């Protein structure tokens, strides 16, 4: 299990340990114990009412409704560019990166999915590894075109990530992402290790300011494993026996939901900074605290849920993350007053 730095490591354990360390050192973000208990009861009740499970992944109209090689290729392409859907020029404006497909309009992550599905419907061979390598930036600009004046952010970086995906697939895996999954031996952590080993753009790591401690988040690598699990309905080679080892995915939206549920508390100074729309640098103390405390708080929520009557052992941090993300996105008015932190990064 050797990865980019050499040696042996367990990626999910490293993320969990990083998050616990960050939470223990955090000054601007705190985890509220009572909020954790309340959130655990609320989330478990809502999940039981909604029947929320792994099958929820494929229920969205933009997700593949098949559980095959093509669907896995789609997941790898999407997650290679699943980052940063806001534009600092328009951060305070109402206009967003927007894509319409099949008589529906989408923003954010779903706009990305809609753009890829639109390209496929137009006959573009975007899932082919050769196309990923050879398509020009202008071709990808057209594929990701927006309905508004706001283009998809970080286009050049996205093209580099897609080219990296195509090159590695062609060189190491016969052009097929499914071959990576087959090597993972029904292990989400093995899949994450393979992704970190072969794709540098997934190495979401940094050093704590004023410390020599390296911390890891691996948001896109973890969500890739979770999406493969969801895409394959947890069956066959997509049956990851260790899916419960994954943590939540430290992004923008889930921290907002955690604050809204009373799980996280921001200091007045951080709250003011976020309300002003100030950009947080990737690797800054504030950004690390938000991401690390979000991960650790979801671990606390899951542990609290385990103590409640009616807890299902299939409820893991991935399912909780999906629930929180969907909640924040489907109820924007509920969380509108809670600021989202903004960081310009390819990692989330």
Looking at the DSSP bridge assignments, the partners of residue 105 are 100
DSSP-derived secondary structure for 271-312: HHHHHTTPBPPTT-HHHHHHHHHHHHHHHHHHHHHHTSTT--
79, 204, 227, 251: which one is catalytic? 251
How far is residue 207's CA from residue 107's CA, in Å, rounded to a whole number?
32
Q: Which residues contact 175 (CB under 8 A, 6 or more apart)?
A: 128, 129, 130, 169
Reading the block at residue 167, the tokens are: 């090159």
| Whole-number Å distance between alpha carbons of 283 and 326 | 26
80-83 CB contacts, 8 Å cutoff, 24+ apart:
80/161, 80/162, 80/164, 80/165, 80/199, 80/201, 80/220, 81/112, 81/158, 81/161, 81/162, 82/109, 82/112, 82/220, 82/223, 83/154, 83/220, 83/345, 83/346, 83/347, 83/348
Integer Cα distance of 100 and 104 in angstroms: 5
Tokens 């040696």 -> residue: 7
147 is catalytic: no
Sequence-ordered list of residues with C-beta below 8 angstroms from that of 64, at least 6 positions apart, any chain: 58, 70, 71, 74, 75, 231
| Vertex 148 angle, CA 147 and 154, to 5° | 95
Phi-psi category of 105—alpha, beta or left, where left has phi over 0 and alpha has psi -120 to 50? beta
Give the residue numbers annotated as catalytic, written as ranges.
Answer: 251
């Amino acid at each position: 299990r050797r990865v980019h730095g050499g040696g042996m490591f367990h990626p999910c354990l490293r993320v969990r340990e990083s998050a616990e360390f960050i939470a223990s050192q955090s000054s601007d973000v705190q985890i509220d114990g009572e909020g954790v208990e309340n959130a655990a009861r609320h989330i478990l009740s809502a999940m039981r009412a909604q029947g929320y499970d792994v099958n929820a992944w494929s229920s969205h109209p933009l997700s593949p409704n098949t559980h095959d090689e093509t669907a896995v290729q789609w997941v790898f392409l999407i997650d290679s560019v699943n980052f940063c859907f806001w534009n600092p020029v328009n951060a305070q404006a109402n206009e967003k990166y927007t894509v319409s497909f099949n008589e529906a309009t989408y923003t954010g992550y779903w706009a990305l999915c809609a753009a890829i599905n639109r390209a496929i419907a137009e006959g573009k061979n975007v899932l082919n590894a050769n196309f990923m390598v050879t398509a020009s930036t202008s071709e990808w600009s057209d594929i990701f075109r927006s309905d508004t004046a706001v283009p998809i952010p970080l286009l050049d970086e996205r093209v580099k990530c897609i080219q990296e995906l195509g090159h590695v697939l062609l060189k190491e895996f016969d052009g097929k992402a499914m071959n990576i999954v087959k090597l993972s031996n029904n292990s989400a952590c093995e899949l994450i290790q393979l992704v970190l080993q072969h794709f540098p753009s997934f190495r979401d790591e940094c050093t704590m300011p004023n410390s020599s401690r390296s911390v890891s988040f691996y948001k896109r690598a973890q969500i890739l494993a979770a999406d493969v699990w969801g895409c394959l309905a947890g069956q066959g080679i997509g049956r990851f026996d260790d899916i419960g080892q994954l943590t939540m995915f430290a992004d923008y939206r889930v921290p907002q939901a955690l604050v809204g549920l009373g799980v996280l508390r921001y200091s007045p100074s951080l709250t003011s900074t976020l309300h002003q729309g100030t950009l947080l640098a990737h690797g800054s103390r504030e950004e690390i605290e938000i991401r690390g405390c979000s991960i650790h708080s979801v671990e606390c929520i899951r542990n609290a849920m385990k103590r409640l009557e009616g807890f299902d052992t299939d409820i893991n941090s991935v399912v909780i993350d999906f629930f929180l993300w969907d909640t924040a996105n489907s109820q924007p008015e509920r969380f509108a007053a809670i600021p989202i932190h903004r960081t310009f990064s390819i990692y989330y």
